[in-house]
Amino acid sequence: MRAYNFCAGPAALPTAVLEKAQQELLDWQGKGLSIMEMSHRSKDYVAVAEKAEADLRELMNIPENYQVLFLQGGASLQFSAIPMNLLGKNSKADYIHTGIWSEKALKEAQRYGDINVIEAGTSIDGKLAIKNQSEWNLSQDAAYVHYAENETIGGIQFADIPDVNVPLVSDLSSSILSAPLDVSKFGLIYAGAQKNIGPAGLTIVIVRDDLLDQSRSDIPSILKYSAQAKNGSMVNTPATYAWYLSGLVFEWLLEQGGVDAIHQVNLEKAKLLYGYIDSSDFYNNPIAVPNRSIMNVPFTLADEALEKLFLQEAEENHLLNLAGHRSVGGMRASIYNAVPLEGVQALVNFMDTFVQKHG
By annotation, the residues acting in catalysis are 101, 171, 195
Q: What is the dihedral of CA 292, 298, 304, 306, to 10 degrees?
A: 130
Least Cβ distance, residue 174 to ligand PMP (angstroms): 5
- Encoded one letter per residue, x for contact with ligand PMP by CB under 6 A and - for no contact, window 98-127 reads ---x--------------------------
- Residue 291 interacting with ligand PMP (CB under 6 A): no
Pairing mode, if any, of strands 203-208 and 188-192? antiparallel
Exposure of 226 by Cβ count < 10 A (0-12 exposed, 13-18 middle, 19+ buried)? middle
Exposure class string for 179-214: b at 16+ Cβ within 10 A, else e:
bebeeeebbbbbbbbbbbbbbbbbbbbbbbeebbeb
- Encoded one letter per residue, x for contact with ligand PMP by CB under 6 A and - for no contact, window 46-85 reads ----------------------------xxx---------
- Residue 152 interacting with ligand PMP (CB under 6 A): yes
Measured over the CA atoms of residue 105, residue 60, residue 212 and residue 143, the dihedral's sign is negative
- Residue 174 interacting with ligand PMP (CB under 6 A): yes
d(CA 128, CA 123): 4
- Residue 95 interacting with ligand PMP (CB under 6 A): no
- Residue 173 interacting with ligand PMP (CB under 6 A): yes
Nearer CB in complex with ligand PMP: 101/354: 101
Least Cβ distance, residue 153 to ligand PMP (angstroms): 7
Least Cβ distance, residue 32 to ligand PMP (angstroms): 34
Are 129 and 288 within 8 A, CB to CB? yes
Are 205 and 197 within 8 A, CB to CB? no
Count, residues near ligand PMP per rule CB under 6 A: 11
Nearer CB in complex with ligand PMP: 162/192: 192
Pairing mode, if any, of strands 92-97 and 145-148? parallel
**Single residue of 81, 87, 142, 148 touching ligand PMP by CB under 6 A:** 148
- Residue 9 interacting with ligand PMP (CB under 6 A): yes
| Only segment of 130-138, 171-179, 236-244, 270-278 that touches ligand PMP (CB under 6 A) | 171-179
Which residues between 185 and 224 bind ligand PMP (CB under 6 A)?
Answer: 192
* CA neighbours closer than 13 Å in the CB half-sphere of residue 74: 9
- Residue 249 interacting with ligand PMP (CB under 6 A): no
Which phi and psi angles does 194 have, rounded to 5°?
Answer: -75, 20
Residues that bind ligand PMP (CB under 6 A): 9, 74-76, 101, 148, 152, 171, 173-174, 192
